[in-house]
Structure 1
Amino acid sequence: MKIIITGGAGFLGSLVATELLRAADAGQAPIPFDEILSVDLAPCPVQDERVTSLVGDLASPDVLREAVTAEVVGIFHLAAVLSGGSEADFDLAMRVNVDGTRALLEAARAAGSAPRFVFTSSLAVFGGNVPEVVPETWAAQPDSTYGAAKAMGELLVNEYSRRGWVDARICRLPTISVRPGVPNSAASSFASGIIREPLAGVESVCPVPHETRMWLSSPEAAVRNLVFALGVPGEALGAWRGINIPGISVTVGEMLAALDEVGGPDARALVRDERDPAVEGIVCSWPGEFEVQRLLDAGFTRDEDFLSVVRRYADGLAAR
């Protein structure tokens, strides 16, 4: 019994693999499995005999035929071109985020095992005039190429689930902060950069107004929720499988205040304001808060507050 993680060599993908292994070792696996297969352009960094890597392009039919077999019981589809990269290269975004998703779904359909399929979508599917707190039933109206591609992916995944070819969970992730490492192509990359870089003594740029409200999750909480979603029975989700993964609503000004409290005024002074209309146009179109009480009651979790997220990240830096 095998679980596939597309994008398994990436930051979130490797964390999902680690969390799956931890849960299995604790007797708490969301579904039974004995192998994790990472499908990515590089090997998964997780060192465990239960983790194997298939290095190749997800768009390749040969790669998909090798990866998606009747033994597959679960798929985490994390591979994607992110928001900034999608806006810069429309054709690449369509090839990877839309065509690649359909190709993976077709491979699952051909395998015939109807695996549980966790699709990581994004709050970027929302745009236009959204309410201050977005209800669960609010319709997608993306204002970016990335959001449009993810919305198309959601419809594809839900239709394949409706037909019984996969058993879907469409997880719209909050913006992840604080993400370690280096900046990525996401328009929201600054949400980690304005914390991560100053705590390392490096200057950072804030490209949006301080009153911008963001829906955030720590990496740890996001990964726990993705793995939890795999174990939720499909019938508990209903016909439409889209869920807004719980996060916390924080303004950029409040994020900088948390940086000041944890890192001190010297760290705070390393962040300078430099408005970027391209980033602002994407990020400021996203909702800043969602109704998630039903999901919390069902067992999903979220961070206590952003200050504790920053403290935990800083403690991790100190321990290295």
Structure 2
Amino acid sequence: MKLLITGGGGFVGARLARTLLARGQLAGRTIDRLVLTDITPPPADLLADTRVEARTGTLLSQAPALQGEDFDGVFHLASAVSGECELDFELGLRSNLDSTRALLDALRARTAAGGPVPRLVFSSSVAVFGPDPAFAWPGIVADDTLPAPQTSYGTHKLMCEYLIADYTRKGFLDGRSARLMTVTVRPGRPNGAASGFFSGIIREPLAGIVSACPVDAGVSHPMSSPSQTVDGLIRVYEATREQLGGRLALNLPALNVRVADMLDALEEVAGSQVRALVRFERDERIAGIVANWPSGATAARAARLGLAPCRQFADIIREYIADCRAAPNAAQALKGIQ
């Protein structure tokens, strides 16, 4: 079995790759080859696995060459993130819409030439939802809530969902879209995502660094741990069309949590001195984006596939600490609790 992960050098992509390699199979088939594409190389441990092939460069530049390859499965994770798309409209179009169309057309061309019909999981986002003056805004969104994105990023994700559904209807591929909740806690340096502070207010204090929270403590948002996000992507891949039971886009499970609850959990796990490193410094640009995001989500269809959210946010923090302790930079990442 030959798989492709776009965005395979990123945090979620690399974690997905490690999980698949450790399992050794997907949907009952042995994984022989795993191709990882990204603008940066994947981590060294992945490169050391003989089943892994890394390709560095933009997906848009790599897509034409993919027409000559038979992929049994694809996880399409590559994209520009929310804050980047708001600041650079052209970047968002290239990285999200143009790249996805190029990938889908490469897969379509290979299918037309007699290659296998690949199964594709697209990492969509809860950002496809937003308030609409014509309808009452539920705040907590469900699988059947009408999408109404209020950011370029959310708009791109929704348009790609529709493209994938249509390519599937035409028989070019077997696609499905998993709407990811905000994944936290992400390690490393902050990225350009407007949601990045949800990780920053946990990650930085644990490292002994002051972190600014740009929104009020009462802001609520749907969250997911990295491990649950990866499990969700794999389960959506392995589900049959009959198990999906309808539209090809569905919410992954979420823990609906307020910023105040996150900080309470941080204090529970790491102590009051660590919590005190979070300072509230409102950023109107970030706060304005977040105000148009859901305050929570439900995932009834994912639940029918056997997926469930974390029980409490403290468990997500403990998962991050365990991951840090298994990594080479544990002392630095957890300096605040040494």
Specify the TM-score bucket, using the shorter chain as the normaliser: over 0.9
- The one-letter code sitting in structure 2 at the alignment partner of 1:116 is R
Q: Shift of residue 239 of structure 1?
A: 4.5
- Percent of residue pairs identical: 43
Q: Which residue pairs with 2:26 in the alignment?
A: 29
Structural mapping, 1:170-319, within 5 Å: 170-318=177-325
Normalising by structure 1, report the TM-score.
0.94
Report the more deviating stretch, 114-123 or 230-239: 230-239
Q: Deviations over 1:42-100 (max 9, x none)?
A: 2222131111112222112xx22333545201111111000000000011101111111
User: Partners in 1 of 2:210 and 2:79 — Cα distance?
Assistant: 28
Q: Find the residue that maps to 1:96 and give its secondary structure.
A: helix
Instruction: Measure the CA separation in 2 of the matches of 1:315 and 1:9.
Output: 21
The answer to whether the Cα contact below 8 Å between 2:205 and 2:275 also exists between their aligned partners in 1 is yes
Q: Does residue 54 of the first structure (1) align with residue 55 of the second (2)? A: yes
Residue type of the alignment partner of 2:120: F
Farther off after superposition, 39-48 or 204-213: 39-48
Structure 1 unmatched ranges of 5 or more: none
1:157 to 161, 164, 175: 164
1:119 match: 122
CA deviation after TM superposition for structure 1 residue 193, in Å: 0.3
How far off is 1:306 after superposition? 0.5
Quote the RMSD (CA, aligned, Å). Answer: 1.5
Determine the C-alpha separation between the residues in 2 that align with 1:78 and 1:31. Answer: 22
For these two proteins, the number of residue pairs brought into alignment is 315
Q: Distance in 2 between matches of 1:268 and 1:10?
A: 28
* Inter-partner Cα distance in structure 1 for 2:286 and 2:28: 39
Contact preservation (8 Å) 1:39, 1:67:
no
| 1:161-196 alpha-carbon deviations (Å, 9 max, x no partner) | 111111111011000111111111100000000000
Q: Which whole-Å CA distance do the structure 2 matches of 1:253 and 1:272 have between them?
A: 12
Alpha-carbon distance in structure 2 between the residues aligned to 1:92 and 1:139: 27
Q: Which 5+ residue runs of structure 2 have no aligned equivalent?
A: 331-338
Deviation of 1:201 (Å): 0.2
- 1:34–1:69 Cα change, 3 Å: farther
The alpha-carbon deviation at position 229 of structure 1 amounts to 1.3
Counterpart of 1:103?
102
Q: 1:5 — aligned with what? A: 5
TM-score of the pair, normalised by structure 2: 0.89
